[in-house]
Every structure is written in C-alpha cells, then in structure tokens.
Amino acid sequence: MADVVHGDRVAGATGRDGTGVLQLDSISLRVLTPNAEVLQAVMGMLLPACSAAEPAAAVQWTLRVEEHRTGVGDAGELFQGRLLLELPYGGRRLAVVGMDGGVMRLVAAYRRGALPVVMEVDARQRVTRLLVRSGDGIGLRWADYLARVFFASRLLGAGWRMLHASAVAVDGRALVFLAGRHGGKSTLAHRAVRNLRAQFLADDLVLIGPGGTVVGWPTRVAVPAQLAGDAAGRRERRVVAGVVRERVLFTPAQHRATLGVEYSPPVPLGAVVIVDGSGAAEAGVRAEAADAQTLGRAVAGAADVPQQLLYVSDPLGLMGGPRLADQSAGAAPPVGLLAGVPAAVLRVALERLPQAPIWQAVEGVVSGLGRRR
C-alpha cells in the first residue's frame, strides 16, 4: 500500500476497523484502537519514515490503545515507593507495579502533573495495551511514543546508528547536514526544502543503516522564524552565544499542513555538508571538500547522543525490543559511517545562514545543488 500524506491526514494507511500497520526495514507493528484520531496521529507521526502495510499483514508486535471512563488513581501515590524510570527533559515517568500471568503492568505519566496511564505488556502474545482515561489527550501521546520506541530500538539493535543531524532528499538521495549544537542544521534543512525543492527528512535526528539507508526520525520540528514567516506555531526565543535565535515549533503533521512541506521516505545516502561557523564572520561563504579526518570528527560528534537514545530505547521491554546492552552491542563504530560519499565543509557565519548564497558555494563540492535554486 502506498504511503500518502496529505497535510495532517493519512490516506490509504488504515483499515475501517481501527487498524493500521507500519513497516520499516522488515520490522512491522500493528496499531489497534477504536479512536480514529489516535490512529491518525500515530500513523501521521511515523509516515513516511515507515511505510503503511495492509491491515491484515503479519506483524512482530501489536499496540492496543484503549480509553476508559475511570482514572487509575493519584499519580503521586502510584509512583511512591517504587523504582522509577524517569526520562530527562519532559519528566516522563514509568514504574512497574506488578507481574501477573506473564503480563507486566506499569503506570506512567507523560509529564509532571499529567494523569497516569496504565500499560500492560504481554511478551508471549507480543501485545502492549495502553489504557488511557477518556478525554486525556496528553496520555494518548504515549501511543506514538511507544510506536517510535518499537521501531528505533530494533533498528539500533540491528546495527543502525542515530546521528544528531538534519537531512533532506534531493533527487532521491539524502543530503545530510552535520553541525555542532545550535550550529545551523535546522536552517540548512528548511532552506533546502525552500530553495532546492527538496523533500524533508529530519531537522534533528536521523537513523542511518549499515547499508547507507537514511531515515528521518520523527520528532518535533523547529523552523527558524526567518523561514517560517507568519505561520502559526509555538514560538521559542533563546540567546545562544550572544545571538538571538527564534524558532517556530511544529509537530510533523502541523509542519506538513501549515507550511506545505513534502516529507521523504527512507532514501540512500547521497552527500554530507559539515557546517563550520568558526571565524567566518568576515570571510563570506566558502565550501571545500572534507577530508576523512574532518568527516570522521563530525560524525563522531553527531553520534554522541546519549540523551536522545534514551527516548528511543526499550529498557523495560515496553514493546518487546532489545535491552540497552543488546542494543548497543549491534552498533557499528561511527568512524566510516558516512565514508565514501561526497562531503563538503561549509564555512559561513551562523547569523548569515538564513540568507547567504550557500548552495552556489557547495555546488563545487556536492554537484547538482546550486543550479536548482
């Protein structure tokens, strides 16, 4: 079944009975829920990083999302005295409350102050059941979180690597942007969508397979205010190294619907651009070929993502994925991950990135970009 994403709606991806099947690299997940909006939200988040399979397709795991009228109790009392898993930056908390007949039962809160939800994990039946109080929109957000954990934990266990990078697809191949924190990755990805008619992959995290396949991992999208214009979204303003940074934040569905951005499915690796803004204020815009040592350093820095990996790992076995030790055992070293493809170092002052003639500069190293402007 083809993946079709129109704005914030998914066409042809779900069955009439509240069933959707997602697939990525021979890994497949069934999502069951009577709530059509929840199913659309999960499918809309994961497509087109994943593809949509027929609802009757065979799968490795099933996620059932159910709503009920009564709550499960006070969050403070439920978590008190239990061993907690708490994720940084957002306060998601999970605690195992019991095992019965091989089914692990947990309580979880998506963020501090949120209503608790219940998760039941049946490894023998390969089913995770998410129970949320009716009307609890925050609790329902666990659904796409669990779906992302299912795929990412298995891919990482199979030798894929996660990079702190942005990427777009140009002529069916991935153009990956590497930079330090607040180094311009999002700006380059969104400029490429606008200037090069590129398809969007990701502006923060990408997964790269052992064979060079690039998957844009679905996360919140942060568009530089200069490129978002008057688009409605949550605005964030920070001062970084003395420079004011204002961004507009979207979910992937909002990003597609509000700005009309076309997303790309997984594509082969094509080229790499490394952003270097150090000492470039008076030097204009320059690009040069990146040697193996420079590329290796940039990749090693981008692969250092311990906090991000926590959000796509499955240490409690929520979705039957590999544990952290098994997951890391399959990871290839980052050195050489992007070797063998054209790579350029782009030297430009970061404050100039939104307007500078960057594609013409990069064209001499990574062909086929400047002339598309």
Tokens, residue 249: 């934040």
CATH of domain 4-157: 3.40.449
Class of domain 161-308+330-372: alpha beta
Q: How far apart are CA 204 and CA 201, in angstroms?
A: 9
Going residue by residue through the chain, which has 373 residues, state the pLDDT in tens, using 9 for 90 and above. 334 343 444 444 444 558 999 999 999 999 999 999 999 999 999 999 999 999 888 999 999 999 988 767 666 678 888 888 888 877 899 999 999 888 999 999 998 889 999 999 999 999 999 999 999 999 999 999 999 999 999 999 888 999 999 999 999 999 999 998 888 999 999 999 999 999 999 999 999 998 899 999 999 899 988 888 888 888 888 766 566 678 899 989 889 999 999 999 999 999 999 999 876 555 689 999 999 999 999 999 999 998 888 888 998 999 998 877 666 665 666 767 888 899 999 999 888 888 899 998 898 888 766 544 4
Q: Report residue 203: phi and psi, to 5°.
A: -120, 10
Omega prior to 322 cis, within 30 of 0: no
Radius of gyration of the chain measured on its C-alpha atoms: 21
**Measured at the alpha carbon of residue 106, what is the angle toward residues 100 and 112, in degrees to the nearest 5?**
165
Q: What is the DSSP letter of 220?
A: -
| pTM of structure | 0.89
The DSSP secondary structure of 48-79, one letter per residue, reads: TTSEEEPTTS--SEEEEEEEESS----HHHHH
Q: Are 130 and 147 in contact (CB under 8 A)?
A: no
Domain locations along the chain: 4-157, 161-308+330-372
**Exposure b/e, 338-373, CB count within 10 A at least 16 = b:** beebbbbbbbbbbbbbbebebbebbbebbebbbeee
Contacts of 220 (CB under 8 A, 6+ apart): 204, 249, 250, 251
Tokens, residue 338: 């992007």
